[in-house]
Amino acid sequence: SRRSYEFIEVSEPRPGVGQVTINRPKALNALCTPLITELNTALRAFQASPTVSAVVLTGSARAFAAGADIKEMAPLTFSGAYTTSFIESWSDLTTALKKPLIAAVSGHALGGGCELALMADVLYCTPTANFGQPEIKLGTIPGAGGSQRLTRAVGKAKAMELILTGKSFSGEEAERWGVAARVFADYDALLEGALATAEVIASYSRVAVQAAKEVVNKSQDLGLRDGVEFERRVFHSLFGSEDQKIGMRAFAEKKKPEWKNE
């Protein structure tokens, strides 16, 4: 699965952990369409990889991503955007990978960069990370789920204010408002923290981990009654896995479980 990419770097820095680093420094990691295509390819490869159980997505200390590529979008027409389904491929990012994705955000995460971070399963950042949906300043609106995911994350009052004013918010605020699960002092600590969490996740049964991600994500789409029922169905189905037997037997025998991922 070693491919060469132009706009991203891909590695496996720890056992069970894949890493994608957005690497387009000249444009502060602006997310042009070829970059999103590479990201989709890399996530699909990690999904298929027998050695990877969780993935960390990061940028540089200065920028996670400063948005969709404004220079690419500037000349677009309605009919062009509509007939090519512009931005639709971004949605593949949320389905390509069933394994957990941890975003490690330092620096700018603006517009599409903020939306990309919001697509991750776990979001970590630095206190000075610069989040925001500034599209309104460019005469447009969020187009990759920002109005939906940010609103679910921070509530309507704050999301409406942020999206209508285009004002950014800090990593500290992101944590306080529940957008980020944790803040780390600087980029190095952030990346270390993200990799450490990915390693913890990678130490568990892949079957259970995928199910856990699936049921939590369903909570964003379903009402409570349907969501609880969906969770119970998936919970029941895990009694059909070998790893449930392995995990519970190991507890009773006071041993460390040796997962089969089956």
Q: Which residues of this chain interact with ligand HXC, rule CB under 6 A?
A: 27-28, 30, 66-71, 87, 108, 110-112, 115, 134-135, 138, 142-144
- The smaller minimum CB distance to ligand HXC, of residues 131 and 204, is found at 131
Measured CA to CA, the distance from residue 198 to residue 186 in angstroms comes to 18
Catalytic choice (135, 173, 175, 231): 135
Shortest distance, position 174 Cβ to ligand HXC, whole Å: 16
The set of residues, in sequence order, having a beta carbon less than 8 Å from that of 137 and lying 6+ positions away, is 166
Catalytic choice (65, 66, 113, 115): 115
Catalytic choice (65, 68, 96, 194): 68
- The smaller minimum CB distance to ligand HXC, of residues 70 and 238, is found at 70
Shortest distance, position 24 Cβ to ligand HXC, whole Å: 9
112 carries an active-site annotation: yes
115 carries an active-site annotation: yes
Measured CA to CA, the distance from residue 56 to residue 101 in angstroms comes to 6
Our CA dihedral for 109, 152, 223, 208, rounded to 10 degrees, sits at: 40
Contact 198, 100 (CB under 8 A): yes
Composition of the chain by helix, strand, coil, percent to 5: 50, 15, 30
Q: Which residue has 């220079």 as its token pair? A: 71
157 carries an active-site annotation: no
68 carries an active-site annotation: yes
Kindly state the DSSP code that residue 31 receives in the 8-state scheme: B
Shortest distance, position 129 Cβ to ligand HXC, whole Å: 12
Residues forming the active site: 68, 112, 115, 135
